[in-house]
Structure 1
Amino acid sequence: MDERKRDSMIAYLRHRMDEFGIRPDDLAAAIASEETEQKEARYRSATGNTWSGEGEMPQWLKQATSAGQSIEHFELSSKAARTVQSARAGVDWRDDPFAGTPLARGQRQ
């Protein structure tokens, strides 16, 4: 988004906030409370999408289950999640031949 569009959007949002009596502090408090209310992920896809199991099932999980995959396939156990995190922490990247390359950073040339 270029700077002119960004400034225009900010002006629009400020105008709408004034119109409804929303102060920046109100917005910051609402965002902070949403962050603390986020539930721990109960389901995770291979691409990193997560779902707590509450509310409507997300589209990625609906598609997978309608394609025949069981929901249990995506379920995380807290022990399994800790195992994956500890395994990543113990990886020694010093001998990685791609370290520092655009490939390692996920960039395309």
Structure 2
Amino acid sequence: MDERKRESIVAYLRRRMAELEIDPEDVAASIAADQERLRAAKYRDAFGNTWDGKGNTPQWVVQATSAGQSLEHFAIRVPAEPQSGKRADVDWRRDPFAGTRLATVRPEPLHA
């Protein structure tokens, strides 16, 4: 992002926060609470609803499981370890598209 654009957005946000009497500490506390809630969550749906698996089952889980979806489908999976910058080795000899048009044609960029 352009530095001037970034500074403009930051200035706008600070002005709006001052108008609404929002302290930066309030924003930081809210973000920390959201992150803690997400860390505790074990299940999440496509709309962002979460559940920690304890207490009463939320309505979105009841509806989804009643419709035949498994609870495991909504399980939040955490990556075992962070990916290193190195790509995994690929054995191109097993590529079914090697030597075909699919291996050489680049998709055209979409224009808005």
TM-score by length of 2: 0.44
Task: Return the index of the structure with the highest Cα Rg.
Answer: 2
Higher helix share: 1
